[in-house]
Amino acid sequence: MPVITIDKRYLKRLTEPDLGDEKLAERISKLGFNVESMDEKEISIEITSNRPDLLGAVGLARAINHFSHKSKRFHYQITEEAPLLEIVVGAGVRKTRPYIASLAVTGLKFDEVSLANLLNATDKFTETYGRQRKKIAIGLHNLDEVSAPLRYDAYKNEKFVPLSGTGEMAYSDIIEKTEKGRRYAETIPKSGAKRFPVLKDEKGALALIPIINSERTKVTKETKNLLVDVTGISEYLVNKTADLLAANFMDMGASVRKVQIVYRNKTVITPQLSTDSVRVPVSMLENEIGVEIGVNNVGSLADKMGYESSYTGNIVNFLVPTYRFDVINEQDIVEDIAIAYGYEYIRPAPIRSVNSGGLDTLTIYRSSITEAMAGLGFDQMMNSYLSNDQVNFTMMRMPVEKSAVRIRNPKSESITMMRTWIVPSLLRNIAASQNVPSPLEAFELDMAFTMKNGKPIEGYHMAAVSAGSRSDFNTIKAVYESVSKEMGVECKIEAANHPSFIEGRCAKIVANGKGIGFMGEIHPQVLNNFGIEEPTAALEIEL
Amino acid sequence: MHRYEKAVLEALRKKHPLSLDELAERSGVGRDGMLWAIENLSKERLVEVSRTESSEAILTDEGAHYAASGLPEARLLKRLKEGTVKVSAMQEPEEQIGFQWAKKNGLVKIVGGNIMLSEKGVTDTEEGIAAEKVLRQLSKDPASYGFLAKNSVEAISELSKRNLIRVRKRSRIKDVSITQRGISADLSGRADEGIGALTKSMIASGEWKGKSFKPYDVNVPVERRVGGRLHPLYRLMEKIRRSYISNGFLEVHGPVIDSAFWVFDALFQPQDHPARDAQDTFYLSGIDEAELGEKDYVRQIKNAHTKGWRYRWSLETAKEMVLRTHTTNVSAHYIYDVFSKIGEESASIATPLKFFSLGKVFRNENIDYRHLADFYMTDGIIIGKDLTLANLFDTILKLYGWLGTEIRFKPAYFPFVEPGVELYAYSNELKEWIEFGGAGLIRKEITGFRRKTMNVLAWGVAVERLMQIRPGCNVRSITELYGNSLEWTRGRGGMNECLL
């Protein structure tokens, strides 16, 4: 989940300047977010991924103000209906990044802190919710430097001065040679692309989308008016993002003007500031949360979460604010009302029913074998299910078997597959225990994984090792006798060869005509490979 | 002379030198008693002890840091793969270190103030730097030093030179031999007074009557009997199971290897959710697709995604096989089974159904001293009519009351529940609230909207985490539980008390 770090004093300035640190943290926590850290200057908060509207100080302050009844702003409207600008969308972007929304902002009064917060919040939003700009990207431009007409289209490789750049650069060079370009390169169609998504005005490129803006329209502390573009692959999300940004700018005290987007087959005016309404019966709120609320009290709880509400009879109508993306249906409203009510005030209520519980029979079976093994003096081990060819096969003198369950996207060489057996794990345990007086005797009863005809087999195995000067085939056979009795399965043993064991001192365990395991004296080369100094005998049975 | 000393000397007079095991067998003295005797005898120069030394490698702090984050030159190679870097850009101390070693080992060349990959550097970028692989191996298994010192000589010598590993010698007794003094020493000593060992025939014949028993020195060390010990984590899981069944839950199990459909899609996790990223989830190769649910159910989930998350849901993505990232996949299977059986007419169940499962889950983490790639988790669900958030709170308090510390509920977000809850317990030892799980009411997109009053309460708890919370367990870091040397299981014996 994303963690945002914001200027603490700025957040207080937007909420209550005199609020103590602890009170501030408590309010954020009651809203359902964790304060990760706080110092003199900054506060870091983990924002859950369903609330992209809270990824900056302005949005967070709005939620805090609603929650403490300090704000009753539920509506965001633009009085001036006529669009200030027009952006024509060309056919070149139709297959790659087809949607754009835009808004114009006037009358901004930035200072260092509020500008930094805006840029950080925008970046956080596009990195997390926007999936590294793949899904949504946002561009901010100085409106006073923009000259109509505007066009968003795919263009041939041309040059412009990118933000903070020293000179003109070709689009292709920006993508290949700058850090940002490489970072977001995958949002642009693969190499060989001759055309690049660009937003242009009369004077040239405003932005190579979604990578970098132009130096010409750079936003600074002195900027009073902005042109904002939002691009992406979902029209709904692009438009909603414009709504969210419009609400944020209005909360910053600026005015917002609309922009007309001309697609090939339709014209859209953004921001739309769309809202939804959801009807929820009071009984549903009460029955899901398990508290009595009463229709008269729902309004105040709705206020706390930023919903305008009204009711007829027992049905409450909630107006979902324009900046919320995550409210799908009444269940989401139930949660918000529960948060407003306060989880700490919900009194735990027992479920009035009697059930008889019980363990999985396999669990009981495994427990009896586990206890038998501990009774024989073996220490229980619990190891990772994950392994690699080196440990699972090579160090065991086995050829690498293709039939193991393999990981497609390993991060390291130590984890590339699921273990096919447990003995290698136990040999590592023995190797790590050599300052303990011998004999070292350990067992593990847990899962190992193999493949058969393209299907994974998830099995429980019991493996045991005994390492010490007198640990030999008979030592481990004695253990096998005990265990097979406990298993209640008729087993036979047959002399067998297995590369991990000394030839002539290894047996295969057979039940119902099927091999279910091996036991024997571990081959000295294997002992050398693991760095084990004493003779070791081992056993492994599939349960 | 004590009888242990006598027994040891007598054995050595017959044959020497003897290893400890041979000596134990021939003298019939328990190990600790024998070691005590050998020490006394060697002080009097009656025996001579010869030792062997073996080695293991311990990572220094710097070594442990690199084992976790990679050697600095490996990070440099990664940067170089994307283009040249100026020598002057090597500012930070770690960049400097990485640069120096890359230069020294011929991984890079410098052309006109720019650093570029050498041929060897290109190979090492592909295959990984040998020293780094060895370092990671040692961080997991210090005793593999013996093996590596023979097979990866250069890497080991580099790591030592760079002070990333410290080799620790372990000295152990190889064998014991007798000295000339020992051969000629008088073993008869003072005549024993009274009965030594009581025998079966003495008891039968009454021979012992009227005689005194020779007193023993109660301070002579004996060999401790070490029984097999259950792993603390196993005991913890037994405790969790007991708590579930005493609260009326039935244990169920489900697949570890499952399709993304059951691990993510059926739990309303959108297909571009970061948790589904290859960075976080292990994807498997070469496995046939698992069964998804009935066509209708798959359509229900597809529609929920399309409507709720507004994207084009892909069946192919849902069919990918993964190692489950939570045991909630088992809950998803059971929710589907139950709801597909009860049908729509009988949309209620008289008595709530209570299930739990417990098993391993996986995260694609780089493992180090703080992170594990697999650990245990337990999930529970209750399916029934008119179940509430207040019921959920009560259930959690009853199931985890044995933790013996205060439990708190906080609002939280998980895609498959609404309302969502995070579970916190107060650790008296760490003096902080520790998150130990998540919970909530399963979304109706998953259970089906038509069963309006039917709810599913669900929760998942990180098993190892409970050990950090439960007073008396004293587990600081979760990886400690997977130390897995016999020294550790034996040493941690007392921990079992806190898990009774």
Closest-CA residue of B relative to A384 is B374
Within this chain, do residues A253 and A135 fall inside the same structural domain, yes or no? yes
Last residue of a domain, one of A16, A40, A67: A67
Segments making up each domain of chain B, as ranges: 58-169, 233-499
Within this chain, do residues A108 and A56 fall inside the same structural domain, yes or no? no
Strands (E), A8-118: 34-38, 42-46, 85-89, 99-106
Q: Which fold has domain B233-499?
A: BirA Bifunctional Protein; domain 2 (3.30.930)
Query: Looking at the predicted structure, is the pLDDT value of residue B191 above 50?
Result: no
Task: Fill in the amino acid letter for A75.
Answer: H
pLDDT band at B494 (very low <50, low <70, confident <90, very high): low
Separation between Cα atoms, residue B459 and residue B391, nearest integer Å: 12
The region, left, alpha or beta by phi > 0 then psi within -120 to 50, assigned to residue B443 is beta
Query: Looking at the predicted structure, is the pLDDT value of residue B67 above 90?
Result: no
The pLDDT value given to residue B189: 58
Q: Does B349 touch chain A (CB under 8 A)?
A: no
| Other CB atoms within 10 A of residue B247 CB | 18
- When pLDDT is averaged across residues B78-100 and rounded to a whole number, the result is 82
A504: CB partners within 8 A, 6+ apart? A495
Q: Judge whether B347 and B268 are in contact, CB under 8 Å.
A: no
Last residue of a domain, one of A216, A239, A270: A270
Q: How far is A222 from chain B (nearest CA, A)?
A: 33
Within this chain, do residues A436 and A477 fall inside the same structural domain, yes or no? yes
Query: Is A488 part of any domain?
Result: yes
Query: For residues A336, A339, A340 and A344, what is the CA-based torsion angle, rounded to 10 degrees?
Result: 160
- When pLDDT is averaged across residues B55-70 and rounded to a whole number, the result is 84
| Nearest residue to A246 (alpha-carbon basis) of A401, A370, A80, A2 | A80
| Nearest residue to A12 (alpha-carbon basis) of A85, A89, A52, A68 | A68
Within this chain, do residues A476 and A406 fall inside the same structural domain, yes or no? yes
Q: Judge whether A341 and A301 are in contact, CB under 8 Å.
A: yes
Q: What is the CATH number of the domain that holds A526?
A: 3.30.930.10
Domain count, chain A: 4
The pLDDT value given to residue B11: 92
The pLDDT value given to residue A332: 94
- Structural domain that includes position A333: 276-345
- Helix (H, G, I), strand (E, B), or coil: what is residue A388? coil
Within this chain, do residues A28 and A174 fall inside the same structural domain, yes or no? no
- Helix (H, G, I), strand (E, B), or coil: what is residue A111? coil
pLDDT band at B440 (very low <50, low <70, confident <90, very high): very high
Q: Does B146 touch chain A (CB under 8 A)?
A: yes
DSSP B45: T
**Chain B residues with CB inside 8 Å of A434's CB?**
54, 143, 170
Q: Judge whether A161 and A173 are in contact, CB under 8 Å.
A: no
A353 and B384 within 8 Å at the Cβ level: the answer is: yes
DSSP string, B228-259: ----HHHHHHHHHHHHHHHTTPEE----SEEE
B390 and A348 within 8 Å at the Cβ level: the answer is: yes
Q: Judge whether B438 and B420 are in contact, CB under 8 Å.
A: yes
Please state, in angstroms and as integers, the Cα–Cα distance from residue A292 to each residue in A282, A345, B268, B397, following that order.
Answer: 9, 11, 30, 21
- Helix (H, G, I), strand (E, B), or coil: what is residue A137? strand
Please provide residue B195's backbone torsions phi and psi, each rounded to the nearest 5 degrees.
-75, 135
Q: Determine which of A173-187, A398-412, B219-233, B408-422 has the lowest per-residue pLDDT on average.
A: B219-233
Please provide residue B318's backbone torsions phi and psi, each rounded to the nearest 5 degrees.
-70, -25
Q: Which residue did the predictor score with more confidence, B428 or A525?
A: A525
| A/B interface, count of CB pairs below 8 Å | 280
A328 and B308 within 8 Å at the Cβ level: the answer is: yes
- When pLDDT is averaged across residues B69-76 and rounded to a whole number, the result is 87
Q: How far is A109 from chain B (nearest CA, A)?
A: 35
Place of tokens 């078997």: A401
Separation between Cα atoms, residue B425 and residue B429, nearest integer Å: 12
For strands A99-106 and A226-232, give the pairing: antiparallel
CATH node for B58-169: 1.10.10
| Residues of A (477-516) whose Cβ lies below 8 Å from B | none
Q: What is the CATH number of the domain that holds A63?
A: 3.30.56.10
The pLDDT value given to residue B418: 92
Q: Judge whether A250 and A76 are in contact, CB under 8 Å.
A: yes
Within this chain, do residues A280 and A266 fall inside the same structural domain, yes or no? no
Separation between Cα atoms, residue A519 and residue A463, nearest integer Å: 9
Within this chain, do residues A407 and A470 fall inside the same structural domain, yes or no? yes
**Chain A residues with CB inside 8 Å of B411's CB?**
30-32, 335, 338-339, 343
Within this chain, do residues A508 and A480 fall inside the same structural domain, yes or no? yes
Place of tokens 């979460």: A305
Within this chain, do residues A312 and A376 fall inside the same structural domain, yes or no? no
Separation between Cα atoms, residue B115 and residue B34, nearest integer Å: 63
CA atoms within 13 A on the CB side of A493: 20
Query: Looking at the predicted structure, is the pLDDT value of residue B199 above 50?
Result: yes
Last residue of a domain, one of A222, A251, A270: A270
What's the angle, vertex CA B302, arms to CA B297 and CA B304, rounded to 5? 95
Query: Looking at the predicted structure, is the pLDDT value of residue B17 above 60?
Result: yes
Separation between Cα atoms, residue B406 and residue B403, nearest integer Å: 8
pLDDT in tens, B257-304: 999 999 999 999 999 887 788 778 999 988 877 778 788 889 999 999
Query: Is A204 part of any domain?
Result: yes
- Helix (H, G, I), strand (E, B), or coil: what is residue B15? coil
Radius of gyration of chain A (CA): 33
Within this chain, do residues A315 and A461 fall inside the same structural domain, yes or no? no
Alpha-carbon A317 to chain mean position: 33
pTM of structure: 0.80
Q: What is the CATH number of the domain that holds A116?
A: 3.50.40.10
Within this chain, do residues A409 and A501 fall inside the same structural domain, yes or no? yes
| Residues of B (19-48) whose Cβ lies below 8 Å from A | 19, 21-22, 31
Q: In sequence order, what are the beta bridge partners of A256?
A: A105
Query: Looking at the predicted structure, is the pLDDT value of residue B40 above 50?
Result: yes
Query: Looking at the predicted structure, is the pLDDT value of residue B345 above 50?
Result: no
| Residues of A (117-156) whose Cβ lies below 8 Å from B | 128, 131, 135
Average pLDDT, chain B: 86
**Chain A residues with CB inside 8 Å of B483's CB?**
432
Query: Is A435 part of any domain?
Result: yes
The whole-number mean pLDDT for each consecutive block of 10 residues of chain A, a chain of 543 residues, reads: 92 92 92 91 92 95 95 90 94 92 95 94 94 93 94 94 91 88 77 81 94 94 96 94 97 96 95 94 94 93 96 94 92 96 96 90 94 93 94 96 90 91 96 85 96 91 95 95 87 94 96 94 96 95 93
| Other CB atoms within 10 A of residue A342 CB | 13
Alpha-carbon A311 to chain mean position: 38
Task: Report residue B199 as tokens.
Answer: 């025998």
Q: Judge whether B433 and B424 are in contact, CB under 8 Å.
A: yes
Within this chain, do residues A234 and A305 fall inside the same structural domain, yes or no? no
Query: Is A420 part of any domain?
Result: yes
Which residue in B258, B273, B289, B418 has the most chain A C-beta atoms within 10 A of its own C-beta, making it the best mutation to test that interface?
B418
Which residue in B364, B368, B485 has the most chain A C-beta atoms within 10 A of its own C-beta, making it the best mutation to test that interface?
B485
Q: Judge whether B441 and A285 are in contact, CB under 8 Å.
A: no
